[in-house]
Each structure stands twice: as C-alpha cells, then as structure tokens.
A and B are shown apart, each in its own frame.
Chain A
Amino acid sequence: MTPKIFFTYFAISMTFMSVMVITRRNPVHSVLWMIGLFFHIAAVYLFLNAEFLAAVQIILYAGAIMVLFLFVIMMLNLREEIVAPRFIGEWPIGVALGIAIITMIIHSVFTIQPGPAGEYTIETIQKMTHAKAIGSLLYTKYVFPFEIASLVLLVAVVGAIVLAKKR
C-alpha cells in the first residue's frame, strides 16, 4: 500500500510540474519547475532500484543541462518575453492533438505483455551494486554504443563551438 501512496504522490506532483514547465511565461520559472521535476524523477528511479541513474539524473540533468539552459536564458536576456503571448494562436489544436496522442498511447500501453524476465534480479543488482552492474555492461557488451556516445558528445562540443562562437 505504501509504495502506491508514494507513487500516487509522485505521479500527481510530476504531472503538475510538467504542466507548470510548459505553461510558465518566464523561461526561468520553467527551468526551475523542470529542476523540481527532475528531482522527483530521480526519486522514482530510486524506487525502481536504479540508484546510479538517479544520481546521473540529478548531476547531469538538473546540474548540467538545466544550468546550461539558465545560462542561455540569461545570455539572451529576453525581457520582452514577459509580455509576449505564451502560446501560438492555434494552441487548441495542439492541445487536442496532444491529448489525442496521449489517449492513443495510454490506450495501447494497457495491452503491454511484458517480455521474458532477464537475469538481473533486484538481488543480483544489489549484490553487484547498481553502478558496477551498469558499468560492466557498458564496458563489455555495450562498449560500441558507448564509443558512439563519445562521438555524439564530441560532435556536440564541436558543433556548439562552431555555431555559437563569435565571428
């Protein structure tokens, strides 16, 4: 029962925060709501025995990405944003489409038949520790995507420099 209550809280608050993120007039407020959301997500990860990812979530997302957002917002110094309309003119269509798609997805996810269970039971992971379990996978079986991820980051770095550097 308790986990369900906790989940209910998280679900409600996360949904609320998400809505706040997309509705705030001031981007800074959005970012702040987003950070709040990320903390909640990290908590959910903990719920699901993914401590390492919960940490990454907070460090990387809340710590790095969102700060990057804030930097940019500050850098761009968008004062007129406060008075400009928040939504595009056709927003009802957008909302309708969004709701439609949620409906379709929720409708379909109820039919999910979970696949066969794997070998990483909670006990196994706890024995290995989560970070090690993930790490060994990343450096053995998933070393190739791992390398690609490095390239992705490299491109991101190069790209960001190329695009954002001044003349």
Chain B
Amino acid sequence: MNIPFPDLTPAMPEVIITAAAVLLLMLELLFKNKAVLALAGVITAGAVLYFLPASMGETFDGMFISDRYSLYFKLIFMVNLVLTILISIKYFQKQDEETGEHYSLLLFATAGMMIMASAKDLIVLYLGLELMALSTYVMAGIRRQNIKSNEAALKYFLLGAFSSALLLYGISLLYGMTTTTDIYAIAEHINEIGSTHAFTAALVLIISAFAFKIAAVPFHMWAPDVYEGAPSPVTAFMSVGPKAAGFAVLGRVLFVAFSEVQADWTAILIAISIATMAAGNILALVQTNIKRMLAYSSVAHAGYALIGIIAGTEQGLNAMMAYMMIYAFMNIGAFAIVILMDRGKDVSDYEGLSKERPVAALLMLIFMFSLTGIPPTAGFIGKFNIFLAAVEAGYTWLVVVAVIFSAMSAYYYLRIVRNMYMREARDRILITRSLTLDFALLITAVMTVLIGVLPSILVR
C-alpha cells in the first residue's frame, strides 16, 4: 500500500507552529526563565508570518485549504498570539507561578484556530476546534491555586464540551443527509435536502456551536464568568482568538456549505445578532468588574461583527474580518492596561488614573473610545465598514438597531474614562511596567489610532 506524502507548503504555518509548540514543551524543561519561551513563541509567530503569503493552496487530499480568507484570519491569530505573549510575561512573573506550559498551549490553541480557519472538511474543523478548545480550557485554569481560575476552567470546559456535542450532532445529521463531510461538497446536496426539518436542525445545531465560540446570545453565558476567572492574558487571548476562529468557520460554513439556504441562516443570525447586541450592552452597563464588563462588551462586539455575515456579501465578510482584526488590537490593548495595573480588577480601581499615570490613562482612553466606535479610532472604522456592507445588502434597519446599541455602549466605556479622568484616586495607584508590556501597548495603541486615521492599510 502506497501512502503518499502530502504537500506541506500550504500548511507550513500550521506545521511551524505545532513544531514550535512541541519544542517549547521540551525547552520548558531546560530554562528556568520562562521569558525565553515567550521569545521563542514570538519568533515562531514571525516565522509563520514569513511563510503566510507563500502558503496558498489545498492539500491533505482536500482536507485543508489555504486561501486569502484563511490567511487573513491567520494574520489575526498571529497578532493575537504575539500580543498575548507580550502581555503574558509580566503577568505570570507577577503571579509567581510556573507557567512554561502556558506558551506552548498558546501555540497549540493558535494552531487549532489556524486549522479551523483552513478546514475544508467538517472533521478537520471539529478537530481543530477541539484542539483550540482543550488548550484554552487548560489555559483558563492554569492558575490552579486560584479558585476563580478553576471555576472558569470548569465552566468553560463543561459548556464547551456540551456545545461541541451539539456541533457533532449537527455534523452527524448533515453527514447522514449528504454522505460527505466536505464543506464544499455539502453545498452540492443542499438543493435536495435544503427544505427538510432535519437539515434545518443540523444547521441550527452547527450555528449554535459556533455561536458558543463567538459568545453570541443565548450561547454567551459562559463568557463573563470565564473571562473574569481566567488569567487576564488568557482572557485577552480568548476574547479575540476563539471568537475570530468562530467567525472564520461560521463564515466559511455558512457561505460555502449553506450558501443555498442563506435566507434561513440570515434570519437566525439576525435574531442572534440583535439579542447579542442587546444583552451584551445592557449587561455590560451594570458591571463593576472590568473584566466582566469587557466580557459583555466582547459579547456585544460579536453582535456587531455578525452583521457582517448577515449582510451575506463578500464585502460583509471582509468587513467582519477587518472588524476582528481591529477588535484584536483595541481589546488586547485594553487588557494590557488591566494587566499593567497592580490592582485593576474593579472599575473603581481606575479612579484618578489620569493623574497618577497619565500615559496609561490616555492609552486606556483611546481603547475605550475605540471600543465605543468614536472616530478617529480603529473601532469606528470597523463598525463603519460593517454598516457599509449591511446597508448595501439592504439591512439598514439592522444598522439602526446596531447604532442604538452602540450609543448605549458608550455609557459603560465612558464610565472607565470618567473614573480615570474625572475622579480622584483613593490611594496610590501602582503599576508594574515591563518592556514587553510597553511594547504591546505601543503596538495596540498605534494600530488603533493608525487604522482610525488611515483605514486603507486594513481595508482592501
């Protein structure tokens, strides 16, 4: 029996990153200073970025596809990875816990996301998703001495397993109706089965599993608890990576496999999107813990990004991708500030920051306004892009709904700004700076403003 060796070029980034992940596991034993691992991670990401442009094409017998779509998401994952590594180092040093595995898990999770983005087959998709999910479960619970961390990991894990069971059930139904798991091949059968309830059920089950990953209502409820309990860098990582990966697969599956039944899933997604924006914003309004607030805000942002998919056009998809990229910068930036603060758990901890730490306050200000979507920040460009696509597709009313919630979101983002600038500090605000953290802040802030001023660098 002849086993052909597959062409690895298109999958080069994945290969590099898995190899690096495994290597990191070994390196961990050699080095006491875990920062080395971080450095290795960054180098890996650099290598991945180097190989990204060249890695176009299909391989693994139609299991894996590397196209512009997946490349863009991989770029987001790399940004996410690098930034997370940069903000991780100091955090874990401060926590005084051994965390060598953290970096290799980051790489594994990223590998999972990349596989998801590139999956051409539902089996690959499922495995990529599990790879990512399992890694993030562990990362969420990596501060095993910390009850909240345990709890976060447990909740994330149980609900995640539950949702992947739903996904699997959906896949199995789909398989039964099409005899295939190939995303592109499924599309060919839709015409025959598109109207059956069984097919609809499969569609709904699959969407709901992805909705869980992107934290869309009503599959979002894990998010606040997990975001709160997980270590801050992991939260930052989770709020961007798995969400982007979820969007990546959602986009591909819906646009490719289910393109024939667009009306069905559009209706579902509209409902989900509105509910997501509503619940995310309303609940963020009443939070006092900043990470919880950011969690709900992350939920709300999923709602906005969904509009890009709802638009159902290429432009909408592009807008959604650009949005995820922008979201990566501004959200990780905000988390970087949270990590920077020695005591930055509560919204009230930011009182008087502008007086004590003007630069940090200014940066946080930029991130908050960007998250609100006020020009000239990247957040505005992201939303604008989405709205542009949605209006073109005829969803003006949905855009109106979105802007109303967007205005509502100003309330809670502004609360942070208010605390920083308009309240006095109760006692001295201590921060722990480090080179890498500063660097991460620099990148995120510069990108947040730069994209806001010169969107051309992002908008194709």
A–B contact via C-beta, under 8 angstroms: yes
Q: Which A residues have a C-beta under 8 Å from some C-beta of B?
A: 104-105, 107-118, 136, 139-145, 148-149, 151-152, 154-156, 158-159, 162-163, 167
Q: How far is the CA of A137 from the CA of B91 in the complex (A)?
A: 45
Q: How far is the CB of B304 from chain A (nearest CB, A)?
A: 29
> How many inter-chain residue pairs (CB < 8 Å) link A and B?
114
- Residue among A107, A114, A155, A158 with max Cβ neighbours from chain B (10 Å): A155
Beyond A114-B177, A115-B178, A148-B128, whether A141 also contacts B189 by CB under 8 A is: no
Q: Would you call B267 an interface residue if the criterion is a C-beta within 8 Å of the partner chain's C-beta atoms?
A: no
Number of interface residues of B (CB under 8 A): 52
Looking at B47-55, B60-68, B292-300, B411-419, the stretch in contact with chain A turns out to be B60-68
A163 in contact with B138 (CB, 8 Å): yes
Q: How far is the CB of A83 from chain B (nearest CB, A)?
A: 23
- Residue among A111, A144, A152, A158 with max Cβ neighbours from chain B (10 Å): A144
A117 in contact with B197 (CB, 8 Å): no
**11 new A-B pairs (CB below 8 Å) besides A108-B201, A152-B130?**
A108-B197, A111-B197, A114-B177, A116-B189, A140-B3, A142-B63, A143-B3, A155-B135, A159-B134, A162-B142, A163-B138
Nearest to B144 among chain A residues (CB) is: A163
The 8 closest A-B pairs by CB, nearest first: A115-B179, A159-B138, A144-B60, A108-B197, A108-B201, A148-B127, A111-B196, A112-B198
B134 in contact with A115 (CB, 8 Å): no
Candidates B1, B189, B199; contact of A136 at CB < 8 Å: B1
Q: How far is the CA of A105 from the CA of B169 in the complex (A)?
A: 10
- Residue among B127, B189, B196 with max Cβ neighbours from chain A (10 Å): B127
B22 in contact with A154 (CB, 8 Å): yes
Nearest to A158 among chain B residues (CB) is: B101
A140 in contact with B138 (CB, 8 Å): no
A-B contact pairs, 27 of them (CB 8 A): A105-B169, A105-B201, A110-B198, A111-B198, A112-B173, A114-B176, A114-B177, A115-B178, A116-B179, A139-B3, A140-B4, A141-B63, A143-B3, A143-B60, A148-B115, A149-B127, A151-B108, A152-B134, A154-B22, A155-B108, A156-B134, A158-B105, A159-B105, A163-B141, A163-B142, A163-B153, A167-B145
